Amino acid sequence: MGTARAEARRDAARQRIVEAVFRLVVRGGVGEASLRKVAEESGINIGSVRHYFGSHEALLVAAAEEVGARMERRLLAAAALPSGATAVQRRDRLEAVVRALLPQGLDERQELVVLVEFIVAARLRPEFRAVADRMGADMRRVLTQALEAAGVSDSRLEAERLAVVLEGITFEAVYPHGSAGDPDLVAVLRHHIGSLIP
């Protein structure tokens, strides 16, 4: 009983720390999430932050993996939808899977900022590359499976094309680059999915 309670306290502390990393990265990028600042932001002393994560790099990897875990939970919910034979049902199911990878509310937008900042940092920091590469490969695997289930031919090539569309939308959501106002991400996705499943 005491062990379960202690484990729950540790999990809650780790979650507070990861949430603090999210807020700091959203405010100032990966460099903002130093151990000291994370300790201040989370209200957990720096010794405990070091105990749980050890380094700035480990904090950022944990935050990126938390983004992946949240997306995975949404994907599981989308995958639980019944698969259908009609074009409308196949489009709806594919859209649900794809939308699980994109922001719907403020929390998910914060996830995207953390993810994009992590991927950008991975270009110059080899300690992040393996995690960034794995997350990209996981996304492509999920998209390939969803396209196969939707009956889209050439699912590997189409998964790559859909991944590029998603990555572009993700980057545009984090770093708007010439879009007029807040782009309707769902409308863009529906248009693309409609071209895959007429």
40 plus 94 within the same structural domain? no
CATH number where 5 lies: 1.10.10
Domain count, the chain: 2
Task: Give me the CATH number covering residue 172.
Answer: 1.10.357.10
pLDDT number for residue 144? 93
For the segment 121-178, what is each residue's pLDDT rounded down to a tens digit? 999 999 899 999 999 999 999 999 999 988 899 999 999 999 999 998 888 888 877 6
pTM of structure: 0.83
DSSP character string of 72-132: HHHHHHHHTSPP-SSHHHHHHHHHHHHHTTS--SHHHHHHHHHHHHHHHHHTT-HHHHHHH
Q: Is the pLDDT of residue 181 over 60?
A: no
Q: Do 155 and 134 share a domain, yes or no?
A: yes
Q: Are residues 46 and 70 in the same domain?
A: no
Same domain, 120 and 137: yes
On whether the CB atoms of residues 59 and 35 are closer than 8 A, the answer is yes
- Range of the structural domain that residue 174 is part of: 63-196
- Give the model's confidence band at 61: pLDDT under 50 very low, under 70 low, under 90 confident, else very high: very high
User: Would you tell me how many other CB atoms lie within 10 Å of the CB of residue 149?
Assistant: 15
83 and 42 co-located in one domain:
no
Could you count the other beta carbons within 10 Å of the beta carbon of residue 95?
20
pLDDT reported for residue 19:
94
Shared domain check, 20 and 118:
no
User: Can you give the pLDDT at residue 83?
Assistant: 63
Q: What are the CB-based long-range contacts (under 8 Å, 24+) for 48-54?
A: 48/13, 49/17, 52/10, 52/13, 52/14, 52/17, 53/17
Q: Are both 188 and 101 inside the same structural domain?
A: yes
Rounded CA-CA distance 184/69 in Å is 25
pLDDT band for 184, please (50, 70, 90 cuts): confident
Q: Is the pLDDT score of 36 beyond 70?
A: yes
